[in-house]
Each structure stands twice: as structure tokens, then as C-alpha cells.
Amino acid sequence: MNAQIIDPLQGDFPEVIEEYLEHGIMKCISFNRRGTLLAAGCSDGSCVIWDFETRGIAKELRDRDCTAAITSVCWSKNGHRILISAADKSLTLWDVIKGEKVHRTTLQHTPLQARLHPNSGSSDGTLCLVCPFSSAPMIVDLSAKTTTTLPISVSDRVNGPTPPSKSKLSDGSAQYTPTAACFNKYGDLVYVGNSVGEILIIDYQKNFVRGVVPISGGAVVKNIVFSRDGRYLLTNSSDRTIRIYDNLLPLKNSLKVLDEVHNGDTVEVDKFSVGSKCLSLFREFQDSVTRVHWKAPCFSGDGEWVVGGSASKGEHKIYIWDRAGHLVKILEGPKEALMDLAWHPVHPIVVSVSLTGLVYIWAKDYTENWSAFAPDFKELEENEEYVEREDEFDLMPETEKVKESEKNEDDEVDILTMERDSSFSDSDISQDELCFLPADPCPDVSEQQEKRNGYASNLGNGKTFDSPLSEETAGDGRAMNHDSSHTEGMENSGGEDTGMTSLKRRRKPSEKVLELQQVQKIAKSFT
């Protein structure tokens, strides 16, 4: 689609379901950095990688040791590694191209979400942030197999053990509340949203809370995520409100700025005053009519839109706001609960996962505006008869001919160098970034069936083949020749039905064929 013929007043957000992907029961999804590959975790423990350009399966990662449902998938920055967490408490780092496991570890608690360090694009990057179901967030080093539990409240000790947050059930018993956490853009700080309505800014290397930002209402923080450019922070709380915060810290060297604020003192400084210098509330989003809970909220690729799925059962609704707080679109899908969603890093496309395991692709319903492409172009509602002008096809004088191009056709064209994409805010990505996977075509079932039928028909014509499948070893070590068995079966099946199943029935020749055969016999007798 040519961008110049698209109406700019339509809004750069998806509107309709373009198509859907189907492979088993998919539970969670994640785009790679460029949006060319889509990873989906399935309920059987496998991870399917889709080529998003062709909508075909590029690779399937299957761990024989894991049969539990996948809870989260996360790409490394260069796309060569993918981190998968499962309900059997396992955490696996995969090499995408080779399809091999690099590291695998088993945690004490079920990980609900696992995220690689933003700068773990190198081959030795094994640091990740894990949010378990019944424990505090932790930093896990897969290569060293070390685990560091992060504090979830201001009263937690600097290096001491961190108890998980608890809440009361209706019967008075205590339950654990899952805690949300995420890295900032360059991974020098971790932002944790706890169960008492606070955002903790943590130096995970020293395991120390640097600042605290209170959330109005004190509701449990269910989701916390940064925009891709790192300028905004989004939180989703149990009070059915999505909040957007301005990141007041610089994108790079944020930890150094906090060190200057503390001046080496880790106890005396008021953490709430430090938090007010880190985050500032920008906007709140909620549905004041239906008061629905939100699921899997996130930013668009450019940070201009905020999207959130309805957590109500039996409906597949996606709400889209602009950053100013206006609700611009409600996408209504099938009568299926929404499990996960993701916005494409570059294009106005939203991908959502339903309860049945289907992945829906929401795209923009483009309206072509040809007058914007050519001002003198007239768009016709119906066919009209064209009247040719008298001088329309007259030869033009030599002086008015278009000048020939002055470009040298012998110049070499560079087709290897990749130009920097303006939609990405940083350019420190390595040149070996994985954008596409090599195709591994497999024959369809129909093609395989045709090959088998052709093989059987050739046997019926008396032909034999040297095939590795023609002989098999019996249980006692004897070789069984399938060619002879098939041939014998063909000989037993004649024009009449003998009551046995045959591979191919012989056709009775027609009268014309019999007549031609008789003529050939007479001609041979004379020669």
C-alpha cells in the first residue's frame, strides 16, 4: 500500500480483523524488535515462530522435558535468542536459528512473566527478570544459575530475604499477590509495582530501593511496562484504571543521576521525594460506564497510542486511546475471552490471543485517496465513456521531449547495506540482527498422498524401484519385501471382485481399443 494515497485523517490505528493464525492452543505472544517474527507460546509446551510477512510458520521450538503451558515469551534485542517460561516452573533460553536450548533452569515458583535484560543481545547475555506467581520478582542469571530476590516494599532490608506480598481472602486466609516488574529502557533500573499501590525504583545490582512513587487509591498493580522509547511508564491497577507516567530521568545513565541525588547516603534520603523526581503522573484511562478490568495493556510502537484488552469473560474487546486521554476506537472481536495482545513495533497492527488459542490480527481498513496522489485525478463512481481529444495523441516536437536521465547505469548499486529505520529511537543495534528465518519447506499432506498413489500405480504396471522403504526387517531378523507383496496382491485382483481389497483394479478395455489391437495383430501376421 502506497502511503501517499492513504487518507491522513483516518488515524493510525487498527480497525478490523485482517486474518487469524491457528496452530494448537496458543497462550501468549511476542514480536521481535523489528516486527518481522512473531513468537507464540502454546499450551503443550511448544513455541511457534511465525514469519509475520508471509503468515507462515518459520520454526517450532519444542522441549521434550516440558509439556506444561507456556506463560511468557521474550526476544533478545538482536533476535537470536528467545526466553520461554512455562507452568512447570522452568525457564529456558533458546538459540532461534539452531533451534537448540542454550540454558535451562527450574525455579521454586511458577513464573508468570520473564523478560531478558534489554542489553542482552550479545551471545553471553543471560540476565533476566522473572515475576513468579507466589513470590517477589527476582533477577536470574541463567549461565551462573544464581537468583536474587528483589524488595517489594520500602521496609525490606537491603540484602535480606524479601517476603512476598500477601492479601486477605473473603474467608480470612492469606494468599500471595503476584507482583509486576520491568526493566527501564537500558536496563540499569527495575521498576516494581507492589500490592499496596506503590512503584518502587530499584537498583538491582545493590538490591536497594532508590525511590518510591505512590499511586492514588493504593490499588494492587497488575501490569507495569515502559514504552519502546523509554519516555513513558504504564501501570494497570486493580481499581480498573490505566495510568501513564512521564519518565523524568534521562534515558541513559539513570542510575548515575540517582547516585548524585543520594550522595552516597542510602538511609537518610526520603525515597518518596526521590520518586517524585523520577516519575510524574501524565494521564489516567478508564471506562467510567462499564468499569471493566484491563488485561495486557501496552503502548503502540511509536508511543502515540495506548491499548488495553477487556478482562471480562465471553468478550473480545480492545480499547484504544490516544495519549491525550481520548477513546478513539473499540475493537470488538468474537465471543471469546482475551488472553494476551501485542502492538506491532512498526505498523498499526494489533495481535490478540483468544481463549480458544487463536491469534487474531487487527489491521487498518484503508480508504484510498487517489486525489491526494495525483491532484488532477478524477475518481469515477461508475464506468463512463471516454471521449478522445483531437490532438491527444499527436507527436510532440523534438524540443519538448523529456530529457534523458543523466544517471550512469553502470554505477554499482549497494543492496547489502541496511539503512537506519527512522521509527526506531536508538541505532546501537548490531549488524547481525535476526530479522527473518530461512525457509524450510515441507510437502503438504496431499502431495505426499499423491506420491504414495503414484508409487502403488507404478507397482501395478510391473515396475520396481530401489527404495529404502521397500524392505523392512521383521521381528525375527528376516527382510520383508513390500514390492513382492504388493505385486502379488495386484495379480490376485482381476477384472472380477474376488472379495479381497486390491490396490488398483484393472479396467476392461473399450470396444475401440479391442478393435485397434485386432488390427495390429493382423498387420503383424502379414509382416
Span 328-380, pLDDT tens digits = 999 999 999 999 999 999 999 999 999 999 999 999 887 776 666 677 777 77
pLDDT at 205: 92
Inside any domain, residue 118:
yes
- CA-to-CA distance for 149 and 190, rounded, in angstroms? 12
**Which range has the worst mean pLDDT, 194-203, 388-397, 502-511?**
502-511
Inside any domain, residue 164:
yes
C-alpha cell of residue 38: 512473531
C-alpha cell of residue 72: 511468557
Is residue 3 scored above 90 in pLDDT?
no
Quote the domain boundaries for residue 118.
Answer: 14-363
Residue 102: exposure state from Cβ atoms within 10 A (0-12, 13-18, ≥19): middle
The neighbouring-strand residues paired with 115 are 129
Q: What is the pLDDT of residues 98-157, one digit of tens each?
A: 999 999 999 999 999 999 999 865 545 789 999 999 889 999 999 999 999 999 988 754
Inside any domain, residue 57:
yes
3-state secondary structure of 54: coil
The CATH number covering residue 157 comes to: 2.130.10.10
Sole residue written with cell 497492527: 349
pLDDT at 153: 87
Largest distance between two CA atoms of the chain = 121
Inside any domain, residue 241:
yes
- CA-to-CA distance for 443 and 455, rounded, in angstroms? 16
pLDDT at 473: 39
Sole residue written with cell 531478558: 116
As a whole number of Å, the end-to-end CA separation of the chain is 72
Is residue 88 scored above 80 in pLDDT?
yes
- Are 320 and 13 in contact by the 8 Å Cβ rule? The answer is yes
pLDDT at 155: 72
Quick one: what percent of the chain has pLDDT higher than 90?
51
List Cβ neighbours of 53 (8 Å cut-off, separation of 6 or more): 36, 436
- Local structure of residue 368 (DSSP, 8 states): B
The dihedrals phi and psi of 17, each to the nearest 5 degrees, come to -80, 120
Kindly indicate the confidence band of residue 31, based on its pLDDT and cuts at 50, 70 and 90: very high
pLDDT at 43: 96
- Are 164 and 176 in contact by the 8 Å Cβ rule? The answer is yes
C-alpha cell of residue 208: 536497594
- CA-to-CA distance for 71 and 132, rounded, in angstroms? 11
Inside any domain, residue 407:
no
Sole residue written with cell 520473564: 114
Ranges of beta strands (E only) in 394-523 are 471-473, 479-481
**Which range has the worst mean pLDDT, 74-83, 187-196, 425-434?**
425-434
Q: What is the pLDDT of residues 159-203, one digit of tens each?
A: 344 444 444 433 343 455 789 999 999 999 999 999 999 999 999
Work out the average pLDDT over 66-79. Answer: 94
The amino acid occupying position 360 is Y
Work out the average pLDDT over 306-329. Answer: 93
**Which range has the worst mean pLDDT, 96-100, 230-234, 409-413?**
409-413
Question: How high is the mean pLDDT of the chain?
Answer: 79
pLDDT at 238: 94
Distance set, CA 509 to CA 200, 387, 495, 512, 523 (Å): 87, 63, 11, 8, 20
C-alpha cell of residue 358: 487463536
Instruction: Return contacts of 28-31, CB within 8 angstroms, 24+ apart.
Output: 28/70, 28/71, 28/72, 28/73, 28/339, 28/340, 28/353, 29/73, 29/340, 29/341, 29/342, 29/351, 29/353, 29/359, 30/72, 30/73, 30/74, 30/75, 30/342, 31/75, 31/342, 31/344, 31/345, 31/351
Work out the average pLDDT over 74-82. Answer: 93
Q: What is the pLDDT of residues 242-284, one digit of tens each?
A: 999 999 999 988 998 888 876 655 456 789 999 999 999 999 9
- What b-and-e string marks burial along 152-183, b requiring 16 or more CB atoms within 10 Å of the CB? bbeebeeeeebebbeeeeeeeeeebbbbbbbb
Q: What is the pLDDT of residues 462-489, one digit of tens each?
A: 444 343 333 333 434 434 443 433 333 3
- Are 27 and 43 in contact by the 8 Å Cβ rule? The answer is yes
3-state secondary structure of 378: coil
pLDDT at 316: 95
- What b-and-e string marks burial along 236-256, b requiring 16 or more CB atoms within 10 Å of the CB? bbbbbbbbbbebebeeeebbe
pLDDT at 444: 56
C-alpha cell of residue 265: 547516603
User: HSE-up of 60 (CA within 13 Å, CB side)?
Assistant: 12
pLDDT at 527: 61
Work out the average pLDDT over 401-429. Answer: 62
Domain count along the chain: 1
pLDDT at 5: 43
Inside any domain, residue 477:
no
Distance set, CA 167 to CA 174, 289, 290 (Å): 6, 28, 26
pLDDT at 423: 60
pLDDT at 46: 96
Higher pLDDT, 407 or 56: 56
Inside any domain, residue 486:
no
